[in-house]
Amino acid sequence: MSQTQHSGFIGHLIELRNRVMKALLSVLLIFIALVYFANDIYGYVAAPLIATLPEQSTMIATDVTAPFFAPFKLTLFVALFGAIPIILHQIWSFIAPGLYQHEKRMLIPVLLSSVVLFYSGIAFCYFVVLPIVLNFFTSVGPQMMTMSPDISSYLSFALKLFFAFGVAFEIPVAIMVLCWSGATSVTSLKEKRPYMVVGAFVVAMFLTPPDVLSQTLLAIPMLLLFELGLLLAKFYTKESEQQESEQ
């Protein structure tokens, strides 16, 4: 490796370090701004559960430190989720200089749509999935049972669902990138549609808590998003890019 190449490699590492530090700093700043409202944030996330609990039932803390650490942990995740646009911007700023102009035109809408889809997945989980799942679980137990969920257990349950739906909603973006890169094609994916149906339920089984309702509520949107990805991928194939360059 020549001295010029070595210095260039070191320069890339330094820039990567700076981008990572900026991303982490954005998470820290958002966390500092929100930590005062940690209890309020937890109350908002717990609202779907509170609404389904029987009268005179409350959430409990089985660990002495849980009343402090559960809202603290949730606020940290909220800061991470809130900083995703900044994190993606740092990633884009790092890779953009090495891209061609037509690649930049393709990746900008992909990055923007990935942010929108991720937040849409979390919103869908909070407003649609959580009320259905929690109402089901609180209504099927024995009548003599007093339901008092632990705040840490509920937080783990909710965060797992939020992350699962946020990632699952990125399916159209993943399909567009795969088709654009030439790793696969729309025709090939259509032929594998039956396997995708099985795969959606298998993935949902690993991403969601061990209950059929949560898995089904994730698998069905994944299949719908798969079809949306096939529709959009027609505009992001290698063939389309070649035709545009020839014109």
The model's pLDDT over 189-230, given as tens digits with 9 standing for 90+, comes to 888 888 988 988 888 888 777 778 888 888 999 999 999 888
Average pLDDT, the chain: 84
Tell me which amino acid residue 186 is.
Answer: V
Instruction: Label residues 116-155 b or e (16+ Cβ within 10 Å = b).
Output: ebbbbbbebbbeebbeebbeebbeeeeeeeeeebbbbebb
Is residue 171 within 8 A of residue 123, CB to CB? The reply is no
The whole-number pLDDT of residue 240 equals 45
Rounded Cα–Cα distance for residues 14 and 8 (Å): 10
Rounded Cα–Cα distance for residues 181 and 111 (Å): 15
Is residue 57 within 8 A of residue 146, CB to CB? The reply is yes
Rounded Cα–Cα distance for residues 108 and 1 (Å): 33
The answer to whether the Cα torsion of 153, 155, 157, 163 is positive or negative is negative
Is residue 99 within 8 A of residue 93, CB to CB? The reply is no
- Sorted by sequence, the CB contacts under 8 Å of residue 82 that are 6+ apart come out as 30, 34
Tell me which amino acid residue 180 is.
Answer: W
Tell me the average pLDDT across 67-80. 94
Q: Please state the pTM of the whole predicted model.
A: 0.83
* Residue spans of alpha helices (H) in 83-192: 84-95, 101-124, 130-139, 151-168, 171-181, 186-191
The whole-number pLDDT of residue 28 equals 96
Cα separation values, 90 from 12, 95, 176, 187, 235, Å: 13, 9, 21, 34, 26
Residue pLDDT, tens place only, 142-153: 666 677 889 999
Residue 66: burial class (beta carbons within 10 Å; 0-12, 13-18, 19+) = middle
Is residue 228 within 8 A of residue 172, CB to CB? The reply is yes
The whole-number pLDDT of residue 141 equals 65
pLDDT above 70: residue 73: yes
Cα–Cα nearest to 207, from 121, 98, 97: 121
